[in-house]
Amino acid sequence: MTGHDAPPTHGLSTGPATSLAYHTGTWRTERPVYVELSPPCSLACPSGEDIRGWLGSTQEGAPGFEAAWRRLVSANPFPAVMGRICYHPCQASCNRGELDEEVGINAVERFLGDTALAEGWELPAPTTETGRRVLVVGSGPAGLSAAYQLRMLGHSVLVREAAGEPGGMMRYGIPAYRLPREVLAQEISRIERTGVVIECEAPVTDLDAAQREFDAVVLTMGAGVAHHVDIPAGAASKIVDAIDVLRDVASGRPPLVGRRVAVYGGGNTAMDAARTARRLGAQDAVVVYRRTQEQMPAHPTELQDAIGEGVRVQWLSTISQVEGQTLTIERMELDEEGRPHGTGEFEELDADTVMLAVGQDADLTLLENVPDIHVSDGVVQVDPTTLMTGRDGVFAAGDVSPGSRTATYAIGRGARAAKAVDAYLAARVIPAEPAPREATYDRMTSWYYSDAPKQHRGELEAARRVTGFEEVLTGLDAEHAVFEARRCMSCGSCFECDNCFGMCPDDAIRKLGPGMRYEIDYDYCKGCGICAEECPCGAIDMIPEVK
């Protein structure tokens, strides 16, 4: 074709075209990639809850509450209980704490738990029946968590409990002003309705017989036996175990404690005992602790609440003798390594009752003639991955085994034991989980989060509290729970704020619609990094392009 027979071009050598023909993606040296990271709250949650997930559903308001609760109970069947008694390590690690105040996760958990009880939401029914039988020894948080998870996996589960009522330390160790019994009873019976059978006053005494009857056994007897120290004491002295006082109160047989009570110890049980003593009529409740406040094992909020109710604490003190109603207290001092030593200085303290709260031991009578189950440090030793004891098919979780003695930890370990039992029954190995990548605060662009302080739960007036066992903390209403949930920054997980989509100078991101998130068009993405930089929650990585 020559210039003369070509079609007329009207002065243009070629027709108009669109820039879409030019793929600017070839310029890229780094590519943005959406990632899903683990938030610090979930990493800190001993129960392994998907906190970000259930807060996300709660953010939608009433229509999202049930979905939120279902996500929550997939890990923890006790949201109304744990929403009250958990020491919420999740909140201590919450990234929002760096911005203003941490999200009140625990209060929202309680709101969802209470809403589920009010609405009568039921736990899901197992989808299969395996026909395998598992015995759980003890019905505390570890036992019931294991039983529930095993039931969800289709196994037939029997829980045998030595005490008259199920719940373990949740029932007999935690006072009603922190955990109303009705709430506990409802959450336990909801687990029973999934098919878990709980037999009370049914102590297990023969492990061999139990193993013949069941395909696997999970030991969750807890640590309900008071630890003892030797204190020289006269016959007229009244020395009791704090855990027994708590148990008697929980069983409806409150003991007489007198006007002045001394509690010996510095853990949460000591705090519960002192606060309970105040409620039983003691005008003066003194906690005697041999170390300092910084070294105290009790949770700081427990100590705060106790002091708020008029409990006094005598730091750096040991009880060296009890004679009648007079305690001899020795002052202690710390050495360079922080260990307390006696100073030889003594003083006297009057007390009608002395409550010992110096630790609790596991009741291991069941294992006395079982040589292949190894006990050391007073607890049953287990394989850290499978939680199996030295005996094939026998697992242990909760306070009877090593680890933190909190209900949330027990729930997490119970669930883990269930997973391990399930794998054992199927002769499978538990697959190793990849190490999680944490969504750290430095990845976040906090500018985009609206300013909002935490919605504090109201507290009953301290003066009102000590008159009875009514609940101390009140819950959030729906409005405040939604508000609190919306304070969640969704660390490390896209919540569809549209920043990447709206801020791409190259129009190279596609929005896929509600719940579907986005897709990067690498034909045009130049890799400038604005999307990653401006992503509020740090859910985009920039990865070097490999030639």
Give contact residues for other proteins (rule: CB under 8 A).
12-24, 27, 59-60, 447-450, 452, 455-458, 479-480, 482-483, 486-490, 495-499, 501-508, 510-514, 521, 523-524, 526-530, 532-534, 536, 542
40: three-class secondary structure by DSSP: helix
Report the nearest approach of other proteins to the CB of residue 491 (Å). Answer: 12
Nearer to other proteins, 228 or 510 (CB): 510
Nearer to other proteins, 434 or 514 (CB): 514
140: three-class secondary structure by DSSP: coil
Task: Report the half-sphere exposure of 469 (CA within 13 A, side-chain side).
Answer: 17
Report the nearest approach of other proteins to the CB of residue 408 (Å). Answer: 26
Report the nearest approach of other proteins to the CB of residue 29 (Å). Answer: 9
Nearer to other proteins, 163 or 489 (CB): 489
Nearer to other proteins, 35 or 362 (CB): 35
| Positive or negative: CA dihedral 252, 255, 260, 263 | negative
Report the nearest approach of other proteins to the CB of residue 511 (Å). Answer: 4
Nearer to other proteins, 8 or 505 (CB): 505
- Cα 99 to chain center, whole Å? 23
Nearer to other proteins, 122 or 545 (CB): 545
Nearer to other proteins, 15 or 252 (CB): 15
Residues 6+ apart with CB under 8 A from 169: 140, 141, 222, 224, 399, 407
Report the nearest approach of other proteins to the CB of residue 68 (Å). Answer: 14
Q: Rounded CA gap, 312 and 307, in Å?
A: 6
DSSP state of 34: E
Report the nearest approach of other proteins to the CB of residue 386 (Å). Answer: 40
Q: Rounded CA gap, 310 and 362, in Å?
A: 32
Q: Rounded CA gap, 156 and 170, in Å?
A: 24
- Per DSSP, the residues of 465-516 read HTTS---SB----HHHHHHHHHT---TTS-----HHHHH-TT--EEE--TTT
Nearer to other proteins, 139 or 490 (CB): 490
Helix 51-58 with 62-73: angle, nearest 10 deg: 160
DSSP state of 375: E
Report the nearest approach of other proteins to the CB of residue 103 (Å). Answer: 11
Report the nearest approach of other proteins to the CB of residue 356 (Å). Answer: 39
Report the nearest approach of other proteins to the CB of residue 320 (Å). Answer: 47
What's the Cα-to-Cα distance from 261 to each of 76, 228, 258, 276, 287, rounded to whole Å? 37, 18, 7, 10, 9
Paired tokens of 159: 């829980």
Nearest to 202 by CA among 210, 214, 190, 191: 210
Nearer to other proteins, 121 or 495 (CB): 495
